[in-house]
Each structure stands twice: as structure tokens, then as C-alpha cells.
Amino acid sequence: MKIGANYQGNGRCTFTFWAPLVEKASVHIITPEEKLVTMQKQADGYFIAEATNVMPGTQYFYQIDGGKDRPDPATYFQPKGLHKASQVVDHQAYAWKDKEWKGIPLQDMIIYELHVGTFSPEGTFRGVLEKLDYLAELGINAIELLPISQFPGNRNWGYDGVHPYSVQNSYGTPDDFKALVDACHAKGIAVVLDMVYNHLGPEGNYVTEFGPYFIEKYHTPWGAALNFDEKYADPIRDFFADSAVYFLEHFHVDALRLDAIHAVFDMGAVHFWQYVNQKVAKFSARVGRPFYTIAESDLNDVKVIKPLDQGGWGFNSQWMDDFHHSLHALLTGEKTGYYTDFGSIQHLAKSFQEGFVYNGTYSDYRKRKYGNSSTDFSGEHFVIYTQNHDQVGNRMLGDRLTKTLSFDALKLAAAAMLLSPYVPMLFMGEEYAEDAPFLYFVSHSDPGLVEAVRNGRKAEFSAFSWMGEAPDPQAEQTFLESKLHWHKKDQGQGKLMLEWYKKLIALRKAHVALHNPDKKSIRAQVVSGKVIVLERWFENTENLVCLLNCSNEEVTVPFSAYEGTWHKILDASDKFWGGNGNLLPPIVKVTDQIKLQSYNVALFQKQS
């Protein structure tokens, strides 16, 4: 059933929603001329109305059982905000220019995560579009947008959305988002969209009036769980799963990142995530090119990325927190919260080699054994990062690594990510060492809800023993402080860091051994107790060795294990990269010993 207001052309529009326990319903059209259109209830609980003299731009509500006006649960656009009228959209009217676009293979993606509202001064889709030349020059070939579904007010991370088919009105119109995607494709950039199917936001959540969308059988961090496996679950599963295909089809989005998949509960024979991925796979087959799904998972369970035909959930990739936590704890020394489980250089080496660090081993933080082995899954199945919206924004002060690490340690973190076998993801601004925080911000209209959000954030921070007072999430200043300082990319260390990221990305693209995701072509080991030696190769054509000194001390590394002659292609100690100028030799041999400066990164290629 195609829900929402589907414009048929020539002033005809079909309105459809699902409400099995409702007896009667109407479409209340309020512009350009007010009228009430009676809807017909079908045997399966759907209500349908065919209306004439309805043009794109028409605004409407639904009325159920003679009650109040309510926005369409499947609204395509809310021009005046969450609580106001929905608007008819003609998806056929936009003239796409990307007919030759074939997408970017997942294993080749270099992703850039951004929040539309804080990424540009404008805080809009058009503002992102204006920065595409910059991103392309950096080497980015995929952008990932935090959720853009309609949320309350005009300031939010996006995870408080309640309309999974809509785009946020303060960011722009549906056509503005299409123009952004079109422009991305013209510049060779894929678009990944963050979608939220584990909960709906607490404000403007009117679906409970339409049907049994929630059940008390399970509970999530946000309250009662969505109903994916009890009575009436089938249309609810479709309501969310079809919105995934909706954005792939009508907005030409290339991939979806699915938020906190571990917070979806389903005991049915076909798990909800299998159902979503089945629909995406069918759409991919119909279009003739792959569209990807990427999971955010707290399970450390390879069933998430195991193919559908092998009984898995069928995601193409997943975020891998173990890599982030290993790197973060090692470089910062933090040992609170979930960082309790990390901090050893062996953790980082294991993540390079295998993926999951906790693969059935005991977790002191969880007080139980945790995870299973990901050794047999190649690199494109995992997205890694040194920072992201969660790992920055869920710190009490939203502080980035720039506030914690030295310039040299920041360079090392970037190299660890971009020289790994996994899909790298940058968080907006990190490429020029942005120091603006990314704070948690909302703009709710209910004072009680605002206070609940404040208290909830305080409770989250308690596990990390952070001192002081968190910025007020409701204050506009909190949002404004989170905007990027674009001028810093052209100044001092910001400019230097930007060039460092460009170099690493260029090396990753130029050397097949570096973007080869086969973990059988990588060896990570710890030497001298402080250095990770990362060997990367591709068949018999290319051999690379990367040395990562993960300490603030000079370390001597023997090169005795690497036969032949090796040519240096990158040295972070070079003054050009802000190093101290104590350069490594341009050529090293098996008999040599190398002195690595603190937090130094060096990359060598074997001469043929």
C-alpha cells in the first residue's frame, strides 16, 4: 500500500493512511480552498480518498473519528513545522540530471559525516551544496547526513524525528534535498542518509492516535518499543521499511545508515532488519545497481552483516566502535565509561587485524562475555572513525579530539583510520582540526519535555565522571556554538592538518594495497611495546609498511623482518607536516633500525 499523499497529475491526488481501530476519517484540505474529503476504510485497516482539484503545494490534515486535525504520519513535507499541515508533493516534477550516475562501491567510499544545521553558516541543504567543491578537493566521495526527517523546532541532531518520509523544513524543501543529491552525483559524491527506525521523537508523535504503533512488551532507552512483532505489526513494519526505499527511489540516495539497530525488538521469523534489507535488495535488483545499508550496532555480532541467504540480517556494513574506542583510549588515556575495556596498544592492533576487539571475550564494562569473531569479514563490512557525532556530541562539553590531543597525535589518529583496511568516515571539521564543540541541542516546545531532556543528559554523563555543568540543550547558543569555524581551514595548524588529510586520502586512493579490504592482506603487530607495524599488500604487485608510534616517546624500531629495500613515501616528522624535522632516512633496508619520534607516522613502499 502506497501511503501518504500521492500526486497523480492533473490535479488528482490519492490520500492513504493506516488506522485499523478508527471507524471514520476525512482529509481536511485547508489550502488553497478549504474542504473536507471523506475517506473510505478498506478491510485491511487502510483509509483511502481520491481527491480532485488538488495541486502540488496543497496543505492538508487528517481527521480521525471526528477528532482534531493531525498531520499525515507519512507526510512528505511539513512546510510550517511538526504540528502544522502536511503538504502535497509532486515527486515527478524534479528534472534529475544524474542519469549516468552509477554510484561508488562501498569498499572505495571515503565518508564525511555532517549535520546539515551546523555544517554551513546557512544550516540548509543549499549550504551543504555550496561546500561540495571543497569536499571533492579533500578527496571525499560520500557524505553522510545526520537524520533529516521533520523534528520539532529548527535545532536538533535529527534523532527526534516523527515523520520518516519527510525532510526537515528548516533545511529546505524536498526539491532542495534533491538538488543537493543531484549536485553530489555530478561531482562524484555518493549520499548516505541516516534513518531512525528504533523510536520516534517524543514531541508531535501522533501515530499513537492512528494505530498500535508501540507496545509495552519491550522497552528501549526512549520508552515503549515500536511494534514489529505483535498484533497489527505488518503495516507498521511496512510503514518504516518502505520509507527506506522511498528515499532511495525519490531522492536518489545511495545508501542508508540505520540508527541503533540493537534497540529494535522483533521475535518474528523474519526479523525487521531482514525485512528492510530484503526490500532494499529488491529495489537494487530493479534499478540494476547496488544500494547499501550500514548499521549502527552495539552487538559485536556478525549476524548483522551476514548475507540474507545465510540467515543474517543482510546489512552491507556496520559502524565499528571497537576501533574508535581502542584508538581513543590509547591516545587520550581515558578509562571511564565504556573506555574501561580499552587502552592497550594490543587492542588497536587486534582491531586492525580482526575487526571486533571483543569477540567472545570478557568485557569488564559489561560484566559478561561479549561479541563474536569478525575475522572472516573483509574491510568494507566495517565503517571506522576517530570521531563521529555520538563520540563527540555525547561528551558533556561536546569536545573534539582537538581539545585533548597534540597536533602530532591528531595526525597519527587520522593515519590510523585512513591507512586501515576499513571504510573510513570523517566527522565534519576534523580534517582541519576544528575545535568548535559538537554539543547536544534541541528546540522542543514542551517545558516538561525540555526539563526531562536536561535531566536525561546528566544521567548519561554520570558514568564518565565528568565534572561541571553541561550546556543547556534547549538554548540557541548551544546550537550556535556547534557550528563549524570555516575560516580555520585556511590558517596555521588547521591549514596544515587539511593538507595532511588530503595526502592520506590521496595515498589511500593511489595505492591498491591501501584500499584493498581483504584482511588476509594485512598484518598488524606491536613492536617495542609502543609501535604498531601495519603491513599492507596486494597480491605480488605492491607491499607497504606503515609505522605508527602510539606513544609520546621516541622509539627505536628494527627493520629486520622486512627483506629488501624500502622507499619512504610519508613521514609525519617532516617539518612540512608540522613535525620536528628529525627525518627518517629516505631508503631503509633489512639491516636498519629506525628511530621514530613521538606519535610519528611513517609509510614505506618496497622497491621492486
Domain assignment present for residue 527? The answer is yes
Same domain, 260 and 222: yes
Active-site residue flag, 296? yes
Contact assessment for residue 472 and residue 454, using Cβ atoms and an 8 Å cutoff: yes
- Separation between Cα atoms, residue 368 and residue 362, nearest integer Å: 5
Length of the chain: 608
Same domain, 189 and 330: yes
pLDDT confidence of 1, banded at 50, 70, 90? low
Same domain, 115 and 149: yes
pLDDT score of 463 more than 70? no
Residue with cell 593515519: 415
Which DSSP string do the residues of 175-196 spell out, in sequence order? HHHHHHHHHHHHTT-EEEEEE-
Instruction: Note if the pTM is more than 0.95.
Output: yes
pLDDT above 90: percentage of residues in the chain: 91
Lowest-pLDDT range of 235-249, 252-266, 488-502, 570-584: 570-584
pLDDT confidence of 433, banded at 50, 70, 90? very high
Domain assignment present for residue 170? The answer is yes
246-252 contact pairs (CB < 8 A, 24+) = 246/165, 247/193, 247/195, 248/280, 248/283, 248/291, 249/283, 250/91, 251/174, 251/177, 251/178, 251/181, 251/193, 252/96, 252/98, 252/101, 252/178, 252/181, 252/182, 252/185, 252/191
- pLDDT, tens digit, for every residue of 56-81? 999 999 999 988 999 999 999 999 99
- pLDDT, tens digit, for every residue of 262-291? 999 999 999 999 999 999 999 999 999 999
The predicted model gives 205-215 an average pLDDT of 95
Q: What is the SS3 assignment for 569-585?
A: EEECCCHHHCCCCCCCC
Same domain, 207 and 255: yes
Domain assignment present for residue 98? The answer is no
Residue with cell 497529475: 9
Within a 13 Å sphere around the CA of 170, how many CA atoms are in the beta-carbon half? 19
Q: Which of 520, 539, 266 is nearest to 377 (CA)?
A: 520
Q: Report pLDDT for 582.
A: 82
Domain assignment present for residue 23? The answer is yes
Lowest-pLDDT range of 145-154, 413-422, 448-457: 448-457
Q: Report pLDDT for 376.
A: 97
pLDDT confidence of 452, banded at 50, 70, 90? confident
- pLDDT, tens digit, for every residue of 512-547? 999 999 999 999 999 999 999 999 999 989 999 999
pLDDT confidence of 561, banded at 50, 70, 90? confident
- Separation between Cα atoms, residue 395 and residue 494, nearest integer Å: 23
- Whole-Å CA distances, 102 to 1, 99, 243, 423, 497: 29, 8, 22, 19, 32
Identify the domain boundary among 478, 505, 532.
505
Q: What is the dihedral of CA 402, 404, 408, 414, to 10 degrees?
A: -60
**Partners of 38 in the beta sheet?**
26
- Separation between Cα atoms, residue 284 and residue 264, nearest integer Å: 24
Same domain, 255 and 336: yes
Q: Report pLDDT for 300.
A: 98
For 53-72, give one letter per residue: b (16+ CB within 10 A) or e.
Answer: ebebebbbbbbbeeeeebbb
Q: Report pLDDT for 537.
A: 96
Contact assessment for residue 573 and residue 597, using Cβ atoms and an 8 Å cutoff: yes
The predicted model gives 226-253 an average pLDDT of 98
Active-site residue flag, 334? no
Domain assignment present for residue 529? The answer is yes
* Cell numbers linked to 405: 590531543
Within a 13 Å sphere around the CA of 413, how many CA atoms are in the beta-carbon half? 31
Q: Report pLDDT for 596.
A: 94
Same domain, 543 and 427: no
Same domain, 14 and 161: no
Same domain, 555 and 491: no
Domain assignment present for residue 511? The answer is no
- Which of the residues 203, 259, 322, 571 is marked catalytic? 259
Encoded amino acid at 584, one letter = L
- pLDDT, tens digit, for every residue of 331-368? 999 999 999 999 999 999 999 999 999 999 999 999 99
The predicted model gives 497-521 an average pLDDT of 97
Domain count, the chain: 3
Same domain, 189 and 258: yes
Same domain, 384 and 468: yes
The predicted model gives 413-431 an average pLDDT of 98
Same domain, 457 and 538: no
For 497-508, give one letter per residue: b (16+ CB within 10 A) or e.
Answer: bbebbebbbebb
**How buried is residue 36: exposed, middle or buried, by Cβ count under 10 Å (0-12/13-18/19+)?**
exposed
pLDDT score of 36 more than 90? yes
Domain assignment present for residue 221? The answer is yes
Residue with cell 520508552: 223
The predicted model gives 222-251 an average pLDDT of 97
CATH at 139: 3.20.20.80
3-state secondary structure at position 493? helix
Domain assignment present for residue 100? The answer is no
CATH at 57: 2.60.40.10
Same domain, 591 and 529: yes
Identify the domain boundary among 27, 56, 87.
87
The predicted model gives 455-478 an average pLDDT of 80
* Cell numbers linked to 286: 530493479
- Which of the residues 203, 254, 296, 390 is marked catalytic? 296
Contact assessment for residue 116 and residue 168, using Cβ atoms and an 8 Å cutoff: yes
- Separation between Cα atoms, residue 199 and residue 202, nearest integer Å: 9
* Cell numbers linked to 445: 516546545
CATH at 588: 2.60.40.1180
Q: How many CB atoms lie within 10 A of CB 418?
A: 24
Residue range of the domain that includes 550: 522-606
